[in-house]
Each structure stands twice: as structure tokens, then as C-alpha cells.
Amino acid sequence: MQMRAKKTRTPVTKVKSLVTSLFDTKVKRRRKLMVLGIILYIVSPVDFIPDVIPMAGYADDVLIPILLMIAEKLMSSEDNEEHAK
């Protein structure tokens, strides 16, 4: 009996796949810049809104997974438009 490796998509692998998609020539420049900005915000060690500020500091941290999903959606919608043509 063969065991298959479970493919889990961790946030690190998602960011890596987004970085490699930045080098794809088929993706529009505007989308690349948007995804690049999101990636830089995700990997940035600087917290733009300090956690000392009530509510707003933690809202900044909640934004990171949301931005990651938006970046994936931007890149996947580019693939869907291409397949539709």
C-alpha cells in the first residue's frame, strides 16, 4: 500500500507561490504590483499600527490573512480569464 504525501498549503508556501507568480510574463503589470505590495506588507517585520493602540493595532494583524486571500484571488482570476479566452 502506497502512502501519498498530504499536500498542505501553509501561509509560507502560499507566499512562495505568489512570489514565483510575479515572474510570470502572462500576468498583467498592475496585478503584479498589487500582489508585490501585499507580499511586502505580509513579510514586513514592521507593524504599521502598533498593538499598543486599542483595537486598531490588532485590526492591522487581522488584515494579513485577508490580504493573502486577496492576492491569491488576484492571481487565480488572471488564470481564469486566460482559460476563458
Angle at the Cα of 63 (from 47 to 29), degrees rounded to 5?
95
Residue boundaries of the structural domains of the chain: 18-84
pLDDT value of residue 15: 81
10 has a pLDDT exceeding 60: yes
The reported pTM is 0.66
11 has a pLDDT exceeding 80: no
In sequence order, which ranges of 1-55 are alpha helices (DSSP H)?
A: 11-21, 29-43
pLDDT value of residue 7: 66
76 has a pLDDT exceeding 60: yes
Summarize pLDDT for 15-73 with one digit per residue, the tens. 888 888 888 888 888 888 888 888 888 888 887 788 888 888 888 888 888 888 888 88
Cβ 35 vs Cβ 71: under 8 Å = yes
